[in-house]
Amino acid sequence: MLFEVFDLQYASPATISRCGMVYVDPKNLGYRPFYANWLRSKFAAYGETMHDSLKELFAKYIPPLMDRVFEGIQGEEILEPYKMITPRTDLNLVVQLTQLIDAILPEPEANPPQDFVDLEKMYIFCLVWSVGSCIVQEERDKFNEFLKQQCSSSLPVGSLYDQYIDTKTLSLDLWEKKVQHYEAPADKKFSSILVPTVDTTRYSWLLNVLLMTKKPVMFCGDSGTAKTVTVFSAFRQMDTEKYMFLNVNFSSRTTSKNF
């Protein structure tokens, strides 16, 4: 956020060098104003019950999670912060959370469930794939346990990373139940064969859900973890009457002018 000063009568040289603009540090502004503004849009679309539930869920989960993820604060203990795949900010994770909720929450005219327990399950799923998505594999069990400790409702046994959300009923179930049976095609090239797994099913689903709401998606992972194959597989399932995709290969010798 920035402000333009009225005049430069009492401005310091530093302010003058910025053309009279005063910046507010993101750490001072925080993520709460963004979430409060997003909540107002939910109140307008879904009413007071949904608004109050999402506000209560925020107070229950977000501050403790942000303290644990970025500062290592867990109650009275000070631990090592979780290791992330790429550096992130608390505001960035909250934005990603709201985008995922927007993508999953049924439209107002579809009369989405407003029961607090159902919304809490959806909220937890979105927390896993926003706040928890940036955490390295080795740390995810710790994040899973911490998130479960914050929840007063009953949750499925096992890792929350293994659970998907039914967008109609807002209930949790295992990803492995969504994995399709594989049948080897006779006329396919070996390089284009994709055997469905829990990982490919999970990431394709998340990709399609976010793309359908016009949200950008970035896959992170080591070489050979099927990022490109998973993305192309998801693209091929999209409606060809509405969408088309263009594949551009980049290398260390690709310049911006080439692109």
Span 106-110, average pLDDT: 86
Q: What are the Cα distances from residue 119, in Å, to 130, 165, 168, 170, 213?
A: 16, 11, 12, 7, 20
62 burial level (CB within 10 Å; 0-12, 13-18, 19+): buried
Number of Cβ atoms within 10 Å of the Cβ of 234: 19
9 burial level (CB within 10 Å; 0-12, 13-18, 19+): exposed
Q: What is the mean pLDDT of the chain?
A: 88
By mean pLDDT, which of 64-78, 123-137, 139-153, 188-202 is the weakest? 188-202
Query: Would you say residue 149 has pLDDT above 90?
Result: yes
CATH number of the domain enclosing 221: 3.40.50.300
Is position 184 within any domain?
no
Same domain, 174 and 198: no
Phi–psi pair at 15, nearest 5 degrees = -65, -40
Q: How do 163-165 and 73-74 pair as beta strands? A: unpaired
Query: Would you say residue 148 has pLDDT above 70?
Result: yes
Same domain, 171 and 238: no
Task: Output 25 or 2, whichever has higher pLDDT.
Answer: 25
Q: What are the Cα distances from residue 53, in Å, to 21, 62, 171, 191?
A: 38, 14, 17, 48
Q: Which of 209, 224, 223 is nearest to 125 (CA)?
A: 209
Q: How far apart are CA 238 and CA 51, in angstroms?
A: 33
Percent above pLDDT 90 for the chain: 49
pTM score, two decimals? 0.85
Is position 183 within any domain?
no
Same domain, 134 and 50: yes
List all residues 6 or more positions away from 208 whose beta carbon is below 8 Å from its beta carbon. 234, 237, 238
Report the SS3 class of residue 216: coil
Same domain, 68 and 79: yes
Taking the alpha carbons of 184, 185, 188, 192 in that order, is the dihedral positive or negative?
negative
Residue 203 contacts residue 214 (beta carbons within 8 Å): no
Report the SS3 class of residue 135: strand
Phi–psi pair at 170, nearest 5 degrees = 55, 40
Same domain, 194 and 84: no
Phi–psi pair at 165, nearest 5 degrees = -105, 130
Number of domains forming the structure of the chain = 3
Same domain, 115 and 90: yes
HSE (side-chain half, CA atoms, 13 Å) at 178: 18
Same domain, 77 and 170: yes
Span 201-216, average pLDDT: 88
Q: How far apart are CA 110 and CA 141, in angstroms?
A: 35
Instruction: Please give the residue range of the domain that contains residue 13.
Output: 1-29
Same domain, 25 and 37: no
pLDDT value of residue 2: 67
Q: How far apart are CA 48 and CA 40, in angstroms?
A: 10
CATH number of the domain enclosing 170: 1.10.472
